Structure 1
Amino acid sequence: PKPKSKPRRPALAAGSSLPAPVICYRVRKVNSACLFVCFYYMFYHLAKTQTDFLKVQRPSCDDLGVFLLSLQKCGFLELYSWQRQRKTKQEFCLHDGPPYANGDPHVGHALNKILKDITNRFYVMRGYKVHYVPGWDCHGLPIELKALSEVKGAENLSPMEIRQRAREFAEKAIEKQKSAFIRWGVMADWANCYRTFDPKYEANQLRVFYKMYDKGFIYQDYKPVFWSPSAKTALAEAELEYNEQHVSRSVYMKFPLLKSPPKLTSMIDGSSPASVLVWTTQPWTVPANQAVCYMPDSTYSVVKCTTTGEYFILAADRVESTAAVLDTQFEVLSTCKGVDLADGSCAHPTIPGRVSPLLPANHVTMAKGTGLVHTAPAHGMEDYSVASHHQLPTDCLVDEGGFFTEAAGPELQNKNVLEEGNEAVIQMLQAAGSLLKEEKYVHSYPYDWRTKKPMIIRASKQWFVNTASVKAAAQEVLKKVKVVPTSAVNRMLEMLDRRTFWCISRQRCWGVPIPVFYRKNTGECLINSETITDVIKIVEQQGTDAWWTLPIEQLLSKEAVAKAGGHDVLDYVKGRDVLDIWFDSGTSWAHVLEGSEQRADTYLEGKDQLGGWFQSSLLTSVAARKKAPYKTLVVHGFTLGEKGEKMSKSIGNVVDPDVVINGGEDHTRDPPYGADVLRWWVAESNVFTEVLVGPVVLNAARDDINKLRNTLRFMLGNMAGFNPETDSIPASEMYIVDQYMLHLLQGYGSKVTEAYKEYDYSKVVRLLQAFCSRNLSNFYFSIIKDRLYCEEEKDPKRRSCQTVLAEALDVVVRSFAPILPHLAEEVFQHLPYKKEGVFRTGWINANSAWKKPGIEEAIEGACAMRDSFLGSISGKNALEYEVIIVIEPGLLFELMEALQAEETSSVSQLNEIMMASQTTLLSELPKETPTDANIIKGTFLINLEGGDIREESSYKVIALPVAKAKCPRCRRYTSNSASTPCPRCLKVMAGKGSV
């Protein structure tokens, strides 16, 4: 009889549109007999055919309510606080790199946060007390710009108005991101996160700043830095992005010789004008020129232009290419070494009376240009070094907005150096007769990564970390850190090697102020232990707003001024610079990490952090206390579209995690996949390269979880009436195939554990899928159905495979629990014999006694013969055949005898594996073998004791149609009559007291 009542949709896992294993029926006004019939039909149908008659449905409010109750029941949301209260000495700390609080959660956040959560859940299950404090990076220009983007007259706002708006914007972004992270199942104490604008965080940051200043690692200097005219602030190299298609207006120009190098006087007779040829992609820097540099070891040529008769000096390697660009021909008169250019000088091409000496420099290259480099100390790092060595002026003629100052002259004043200012300089070169050629040049050029506008290099007074003095120690410390993947450590070491200084001052107001006071009349800075102590006390209580709101008398004490040799507090002013946000986040270890060590077990972030947070954390920690803040670095790739392309709204391939979980407006186009599908995508991806995501990838992830749920449903469906504590069968009394499955379970558990330890979650997924598909579904489940469905309920043979199913279910669920926590908890809630949640009951408990060397040979030998048998009857029902196995006497025969003691059997362990109705085991072919019988021959190699025992045995397999009738109960062809159950079934039915 079929149930007349309509099935009610089951409760769903968080973020899942797949049905739960438990089936609920709403029954109205039915008597107990009817109710019994309904449930008997359901479970009989499930056990006998394993047909999934539950349809996949989108969860309704009713279903989600049921699920929320189930979450509460298993303590899912309280897991973090529960595990923090455990009494254990084992601790695992994963320090959360703070995401930037300037927008909605995106798929990159999902990749990072889910990877961290998988890691933390694994360690919770292994008995560790996990320390994980989520945080946010809250200061900086992107937040400031977004907060002010919709404000009219934003340029007229006071610093405190800007700070207030920026803070409110960051707080809203944090709440959005936090809600998403919780929805993704990320385990944390969400009531106690860290934010870089928290007063205590800011105070700790200032303590680290002063430690580094006191040790000489932080200093103030006037030097060229990367400058963003669009943001009016200095930037560090890590805040740049390079536009490979930037177009510059490059020029070839001549610097007339004023004084010939002594060694070239004889080559240049003075009858024709002589000049050095120079090429630059930044004509606007020419007014700041102070020298022309050459490479001492390179070869230079004195050439005569066949068109004008002028003499030029340029690198010998660049003569032909330069002549081609200038559309002329050069006659080489002589050559010389770069050192022969010493003591020569040139006239500045646009400023009458200014002399530009010829100077040696090692940064000159021959790859492009003329081999002679125009040198503007205020606009180039190497140029500045040359100027410092030769005591040349380093005056900057460009203001904070990228406009020429009054010092540049009336023709250039107030012109934008990247636009009309550049054009004006080119016109000046042309008017002076110094311009030989102008052309467009496409090359890689630095842009501000926030405003997406071009950068310039501009000399200004800034605060720096002297990385040159700390990077050697940082590199040595880094070599002792475990880095996953190992290739990433070399990239980070190379980045450190190239970094000579780190500009940490920014000319903004939304940030932590650099706690320095300046003397009004001299500009001399004041910072000492007294001044910093006073400021930190105030910041700890009021936050850094106090720097802008309090008068200087409350920030700077008379005692501190007196100690510095000053007389009056009012002789000083507060500094207006704030700290780089990389310094903000880079000092998070000082606030978040606990204990005297203040060292995390793991930092886990994207590969961009090799030059960002990983590096700033390392530099500040090594400078302040001579050690790294982490023991392990895990580096993952970026997310891309499923074809490997960058995500873009214009392309339409942006993946929104919220749409992935809840679906879009059109569910046929954007179906609701659920949080566990999102988590599965993260886990199955090779995160150490670029991670692809899109509809095809997500559909595949959903299908994978659906297959997993079907495997779990089979095991759960066969747990009814079984209690492992009272009904389990000892391993020694089990069927050999059951012992074999425990053996495989032990190996599976070990491999999965190692993969988790190595942060290789894609390997975990591969191991899980292989075990569930190959070992469970395709092999074990297919051969034990007869025992499960046809043996007496409490028969030891049935209990034996139930014992294995219980162990397999436990191991499998625990193995994927860190990846799919919602599904894992759902399964555990529906176990008939276990009430406590999966995360509170520990990691995989695979008994080492399950590992039995040699057992594989028995089962795999039988499986080899089964494959031969099934191959010989391809496409036909194996139960319609009896199989004869002939093995020559030896070790293989003895192993098969352990599976079937009698010669012929329909209920032996060997017959179960063969899946036939009857199996006969012989040592030689029977005489009555039909002449037309299909005899399949094969060999099997037995390898035991690590190779000490090796024996290759041959076997023959014969499949013959069975002569008996089909049993109406077990469907094997073992009955004497089609209307009568077989002897085994009759015995079972008699034992149950029914026919």
Structure 2
Amino acid sequence: MLLCRVSAVSQTLARWGRRSQRGGGGLLLHRALSFTSSRWQDVSSGEGSAQPAEAASAQRLYRDTVLLPRTDFPMKLTGQKLLERELEIQKECGFADLYSWQRERKVKKEFCLHDGPPYANGDPHVGHALNKILKDIRNRFEMLRGRQVHYIPGWDCHGLPIELKALGEMGTSGLSPLQIRQKARAFAEAAIARQKAAFQRWGVMADWDQCYYTYDGAYEAAQLKVFQEMHSKGFIYQDYKPIFWSPSSRTALAEAELEYNADHVSRAIYATFPLITLPPKIASEILLLTGLESVSVLVWTTQPWTIPANQAVCYMPNAQYSVLKRADNSQLLLVATERAASVAALLGTELESVGTFTGSQLEGGICKHPTIPDKEVPLLPANHVTMAKGTGLVHTAPAHGMEDYSVASQFKLSVECMVDEDGKFTELAGPELQNLSVMTEGTDKVISMLKDCGALVKEEQCVHSYPYDWRTKQPVVIRPSKQWFINTASLKEKAKDALQKVRVLPESARGSLLAMLDRRTYWCISRQRSWGVPIPVFYHRETGDPLINKHTVSHIATLFKEKGSDCWWELPIETLLPAEVLKKDNGSGPVTDYVRGVDILDIWFDSGASWAAVLEDSRADAYVEGKDQIGGWFQSSLLTSVAVRNKAPYKSLVVHGFAVSEKGEKMSKSVGNVVDPDAVINGGKVSMPAYGADVLRWWVAESNVFSEVQIGPSALNSARDGIGKLRNTLKFLLGNLQGFDPRVQAVDPKEMHYIDQYMLHLLREYSIKVTDAYSEFDAGRAIRVLQAFIARDVSSLYFSIIKDRLYCDPKDSLGRRSCQTVLEEVLDGVTRSIAPILPHLAEEVYLHAPGHDQGETLFKSGWIKSSSVWRRPGLEEAVEGACAIRDSFLSSIPGKNAAQYDLTVAIEPGLLFELMESLQEEPSSTTSQLVELMMVARVNLTSKLPRDLPSDALLSHGTFLINLEGGVIREDSAYSIAVVPTSAARCPRCRRYTAESADCLCPRCQSAVSQAH
């Protein structure tokens, strides 16, 4: 026998290894065979093709003795029945209590997925579905495999969008901050209720009564603790500097609150600043080259309205600059040498170079401001000057540019703001410009003034990327304002170091995270609105100096925890800043010398501090959000946690794409391509059937979530069809387990047929692959592994081989029970493996499946239970060797029914022969395991082909390479096959060609029928 031979070869081998390669016809091809279920449909219906009446009569006689599948599990659920069944399953299987149940059980390991708060400003959409279902798939998987899941859903409840929607057309006129907050809270609560109901309908597992909300007093108190810690460490400060300002919202904005409109059109201009003091290092040289003619510096800007705020013109120290003479009017212009050709083309004239200098030689030059009489502006070096566009000389207005402000800080330039909160020029800009909107009529007027004084050289339209307020979709301006900031420059290196220890999926997103950190030198966290957490600062009535320290903030945090942040407006100053708190700060004067601040915190600080309120001292195993959070929640969470705890709040980041239409377009109500998840589940008004929640979940799982995720009829129909095919397989499995109880009737793997043991081996490999896929947040791979396993291993290979034994062997025979044991294991494994994605279907199957008591649910019974016992020495080689031989045989009878042939297999003595002997001990058989695998009438197993083969015999040859334990055992075996039509008759019951005559049962069926009676 095989195992004796293996022992003789090497007694030290603990197990047989997997083959690493195959030779000849040895590749295992799991092909669909002609021996299909139609054979059994004929038996059950009594119908057949061109058969004698007596044969058909005999088949009808034995029809009831064939053990065909029976189950009340429906093949298909559609429409209202599907929706009702999903809701029944949620109730019957305790979906609402599952999270609490798993939190109470005692387990060794915890899996913490921290929920990024969706914004409470509207109805649930497919972006919510993508995010929440993706998280739920991982949470359910972790719970099934024995982890205690920590997942507390949350909502981001503050901020301008909610405030604006709550106020609607009313605006803020006549409303107090408390009235505005009351309306905003009510709006947010209504949105939360709608979103929460949708998340529950999608089957998302959580304790929905224990969520976190950023407007809760306890949450706000935890947030203020983070604020106080960062302030005490010097990370938070107040300053007067340029920030992004939204005139349409009348508030400061952070970088994360901007959208960049790539199609924005600006009126770009080229303007001259006459040089009135030549650079000392080259003054004599310029005079020599140009005579007494004046030279003008040529600048380019896409924001002409900032010209009145100009304080300098910047150059690049290492670049080359030329004085150019216009051929059309002899004007002398100073331009970067590298930009000369482009400027000449733009002006439509030749530019003759009069002289060339290095940028550093321009030091000390002074220009005349073109529109403000008697104002002089210096030429200054700056590293932000580039040669990509313009003239290589940059107009610098420190009040209206971040880089310009850096220059002003270095050279002590004035930073005067000429623009008010409505985006209009103030009186500082002069009477001609005062009250004009800078982006419209203000720009018109400045260009007109430049033209009148002869400084305008050229105007052009420039299409470029420009920042917009992400809520109002209106352009923003940069203007200086006294605000509160986080010094992210001092946190940047710490944050980068912390990020290096974080796993990022996909890894390509790490570069974007680092780039976002690099771009952000400071973070403006104050907002000039009412709906949010007030910045806990008091200002002296006379001096305006801020009062903020650990005593004042701790006191306010305590009040917020008890009463909520409305108390900032409700309580008197004496309660907010009692005398004893003021005394701790050594404050001078009475409490009434102070007023409370009116700014609120940026909502990114709100949500970025969620780790403090939800995770406390621990770190989440994962944050899972869309790619827009690379510059948002991912970053604000990182910066606040690093500032307070010197570590990232997450161990891994999962960054998914956006949901888009099937054409790849962004969803828009105006375009009409929005897909409503409620319509997906319950059916829409226009050609949208009721798909149910599991189809929505399958769509999420099947998608490549690391890119843009398309949704529409094609994607949803594909998901529905995928589930439909799966139901078909599950129905077959359930139907063949009718009356089988694995707790008392299961067969020990060692007593099973080899093909049954092999199926368990494949099931074990499948369980390992699908577990790995879920562990990598790759539900799409889990589905692909599932579909390949069912199509190739289960349906095409195993089902086609075992149907005869399953249907026609005696009901309680070892062979049939062996087969049912495997089918139950496959059903159980497949059902558990799909459960994270399809919880409704999984529980529905579990309700019909054998082997557990009524009232048990799948999600309380664990993950796939594969066993190492299923891996047996020689098993894989025996079955795959037989399948390799079968492939050679099938290729010799293309399109023919394998059941009508006798097969003679000749193999030289060796390992392959012994492997086949383990499947068929006798030289010739119609009932051996080898016959079952070959699916033929008879197999003759011999060491050489007989000489007296019939003339019509079909011959084929092949080789099978056995390669075990990395080559320790290696044998390349040749085999030959002779195929001849069988002389046996077709059995009227099993329809195999193993009977003596057409009206006589084969020996196996005789035994089965006699046992049944």
* Alignment TM-score, normalising by the size of structure 1: 0.93
Q: Offset of 1:873 from its aligned partner?
A: 2.7
The answer (yes or no) to whether the contact 2:96–2:205 under 8 Å persists in 1 is: yes
Question: Please, what is the CA RMSD of the aligned residues?
Answer: 2.0
Aligned to 1:570: 592
Aligned to 1:378: 399
Q: Which among 229, 236, 248 is matched to residue 211 of structure 1?
A: 229
Aligned to 1:158: 176
The answer (yes or no) to whether the contact 1:531–1:557 under 8 Å persists in 2 is: no
Q: Offset of 1:463 from its aligned partner?
A: 0.6
Aligned to 2:868: 848
The answer (yes or no) to whether the contact 2:67–2:811 under 8 Å persists in 1 is: no
Q: Structure 2 matches for 1:278-293, cutoff 5 A?
A: 278-293=299-314
Q: Offset of 1:686 from its aligned partner?
A: 1.6
Deviation string, structure 1 residues 449-499 (Cα, Å, up to 9, x no partner): 111111111111111110111111111111111222222222212221222
Aligned to 1:246: 264
Corresponding position: 1:300 with 2:318: no
Deviation string, structure 1 residues 239-270 (Cα, Å, up to 9, x no partner): 11111111100111111111111123223335
Q: What is the alpha-carbon distance in structure 2 between the residues aligned to residue 676 and residue 46 of structure 1?
A: 35
Aligned to 1:928: 948
Q: 1:351 to 1:64 in 2, by over 3 A?
A: closer
Amino acid aligned to 2:772: E
Deviation string, structure 1 residues 655-674 (Cα, Å, up to 9, x no partner): 221111111124xx211111
The answer (yes or no) to whether the contact 1:676–1:823 under 8 Å persists in 2 is: yes
Aligned to 1:234: 252
Aligned to 1:6: none
The answer (yes or no) to whether the contact 2:70–2:736 under 8 Å persists in 1 is: no
The answer (yes or no) to whether the contact 2:399–2:415 under 8 Å persists in 1 is: yes
Q: 1:177 to 1:53 in 2, by over 3 A?
A: closer
Percent of residue pairs bearing the same amino acid type:
62
Bigger CA drift: 112-121 or 629-638?
A: 629-638
Aligned to 2:936: 916
Q: 1:70 to 1:762 in 2, by over 3 A?
A: closer
Q: Which runs of 4+ in 1 moved over 6 A?
A: 43-46, 49-53
> Is the partner of 1:268 in helix, strand or coil?
helix
Q: Which among 441, 447, 467 is matched to residue 420 of structure 1?
A: 441
The answer (yes or no) to whether the contact 1:228–1:454 under 8 Å persists in 2 is: yes
Q: What is the alpha-carbon distance in structure 1 between the residues aligned to residue 85 and residue 307 of structure 2?
A: 73
Aligned to 1:583: 605
Aligned to 2:18: none
Q: What is the alpha-carbon distance in structure 1 between the residues aligned to residue 579 and residue 693 of structure 2?
A: 59
Bigger CA drift: 847-856 or 210-219?
A: 847-856
Q: Which among 882, 896, 901 is matched to residue 921 of structure 2?
A: 901
Deviation string, structure 1 residues 151-175 (Cα, Å, up to 9, x no partner): 3354332222211111111111111
Q: Which among 622, 637, 657 is matched to residue 617 of structure 1?
A: 637
Aligned to 2:94: 75
Corresponding position: 1:172 with 2:199: no
Q: Structure 2 matches for 1:445-456, cutoff 5 A?
A: 445-456=466-477
Aligned to 2:712: 694
Amino acid aligned to 1:819: I
Corresponding position: 1:892 with 2:946: no
The answer (yes or no) to whether the contact 2:157–2:213 under 8 Å persists in 1 is: yes
The answer (yes or no) to whether the contact 1:118–1:819 under 8 Å persists in 2 is: yes
Amino acid aligned to 1:988: A
Bigger CA drift: 880-889 or 238-247?
A: 880-889
Amino acid aligned to 1:354: K
> Is the partner of 2:68 in helix, strand or coil?
helix
Corresponding position: 1:953 with 2:977: no
Unaligned 5+ runs, structure 2 = 1-59
Q: What is the alpha-carbon distance in structure 2 between the residues aligned to residue 478 and residue 385 of structure 1?
A: 28
Q: What is the alpha-carbon distance in structure 1 between the residues aligned to residue 306 and residue 66 of structure 2?
A: 80
Corresponding position: 1:703 with 2:708: no
Corresponding position: 1:95 with 2:117: no
Aligned to 2:133: 114
Deviation string, structure 1 residues 305-352 (Cα, Å, up to 9, x no partner): 232223221111112211221222222111111111111101111000
Deviation string, structure 1 residues 910-954 (Cα, Å, up to 9, x no partner): 111111122222222223312232212222211112222222222
Aligned to 1:4: none
Bigger CA drift: 871-880 or 575-584?
A: 871-880
Q: Which among 138, 142, 166 is matched to residue 147 of structure 1?
A: 166
Q: What is the alpha-carbon distance in structure 1 between the residues aligned to residue 171 and residue 383 of structure 2?
A: 49
Amino acid aligned to 1:332: S
Bigger CA drift: 601-610 or 554-563?
A: 554-563
Unaligned 5+ runs, structure 1 = 1-39
Q: Offset of 1:47 from its aligned partner?
A: 5.4
The answer (yes or no) to whether the contact 2:874–2:915 under 8 Å persists in 1 is: no
Amino acid aligned to 2:323: V
The answer (yes or no) to whether the contact 1:202–1:539 under 8 Å persists in 2 is: yes
The answer (yes or no) to whether the contact 2:754–2:929 under 8 Å persists in 1 is: yes
Q: What is the alpha-carbon distance in structure 2 between the residues aligned to residue 366 and residue 505 of structure 1?
A: 35
Aligned to 1:791: 809
The answer (yes or no) to whether the contact 1:637–1:690 under 8 Å persists in 2 is: yes
Bigger CA drift: 291-300 or 869-878?
A: 869-878
Bigger CA drift: 258-267 or 136-145?
A: 258-267
Q: What is the alpha-carbon distance in structure 1 between the residues aligned to residue 537 and residue 170 of structure 2?
A: 32
Q: 1:569 to 1:349 in 2, by over 3 A?
A: same
Q: Offset of 1:295 from its aligned partner?
A: 0.8
Q: Offset of 1:889 from its aligned partner?
A: 2.4
Bigger CA drift: 954-963 or 718-727?
A: 954-963
Q: What is the alpha-carbon distance in structure 1 between the residues aligned to residue 66 and residue 770 of structure 2?
A: 30
Q: Which among 961, 981, 986 is matched to residue 941 of structure 1?
A: 961
Aligned to 1:660: 680
Q: What is the alpha-carbon distance in structure 1 between the residues aligned to residue 705 and residue 134 of structure 2?
A: 9
Amino acid aligned to 1:91: E
Q: Offset of 1:765 from its aligned partner?
A: 0.9
Aligned to 2:840: 822
Q: 1:891 to 1:509 in 2, by over 3 A?
A: same
Q: Offset of 1:57 from its aligned partner?
A: 4.8
> Is the partner of 1:388 in helix, strand or coil?
helix
Deviation string, structure 1 residues 611-649 (Cα, Å, up to 9, x no partner): 111110110011012111111111111122223232233
Q: What is the alpha-carbon distance in structure 2 between the residues aligned to residue 45 and residue 342 of structure 1?
A: 104
Aligned to 1:749: 767
Corresponding position: 1:986 with 2:1006: yes
Corresponding position: 1:529 with 2:550: yes
Q: 1:553 to 1:212 in 2, by over 3 A?
A: same
Q: 1:54 to 1:199 in 2, by over 3 A?
A: closer
Q: Which among 533, 550, 560 is matched to residue 512 of structure 1?
A: 533
Q: Which among 448, 454, 462 is matched to residue 433 of structure 1?
A: 454
Corresponding position: 1:542 with 2:563: yes
Q: What is the alpha-carbon distance in structure 1 between the residues aligned to residue 423 and residue 90 of structure 2?
A: 57
The answer (yes or no) to whether the contact 1:296–1:337 under 8 Å persists in 2 is: yes
Aligned to 1:224: 242
Amino acid aligned to 1:420: E
**Higher RCO (CA < 8 A, seq sep 6+):** 2
Q: Structure 2 matches for 1:733-772, cutoff 5 A?
A: 733-772=751-790
Total equivalences in the alignment = 947
Aligned to 2:669: 649
The answer (yes or no) to whether the contact 2:277–2:366 under 8 Å persists in 1 is: yes
Aligned to 1:30: none
The answer (yes or no) to whether the contact 2:573–2:592 under 8 Å persists in 1 is: yes
The answer (yes or no) to whether the contact 1:526–1:564 under 8 Å persists in 2 is: no
Q: 1:363 to 1:46 in 2, by over 3 A?
A: farther
The answer (yes or no) to whether the contact 2:89–2:840 under 8 Å persists in 1 is: no
Q: 1:59 to 1:698 in 2, by over 3 A?
A: closer
Q: Offset of 1:90 from its aligned partner?
A: 1.5
Bigger CA drift: 828-837 or 613-622?
A: 828-837
Amino acid aligned to 2:362: L
The answer (yes or no) to whether the contact 2:985–2:995 under 8 Å persists in 1 is: yes
Deviation string, structure 1 residues 836-893 (Cα, Å, up to 9, x no partner): 2111111111111212253222111111222222333333322222222222222211
Aligned to 1:495: 516
> Is the partner of 2:170 in helix, strand or coil?
coil
> Is the partner of 1:48 in helix, strand or coil?
coil
Aligned to 1:670: 688
Q: 1:224 to 1:413 in 2, by over 3 A?
A: same
The answer (yes or no) to whether the contact 1:791–1:798 under 8 Å persists in 2 is: yes
Q: Offset of 1:50 from its aligned partner?
A: 8.1
Q: 1:236 to 1:74 in 2, by over 3 A?
A: same
Aligned to 2:482: 461
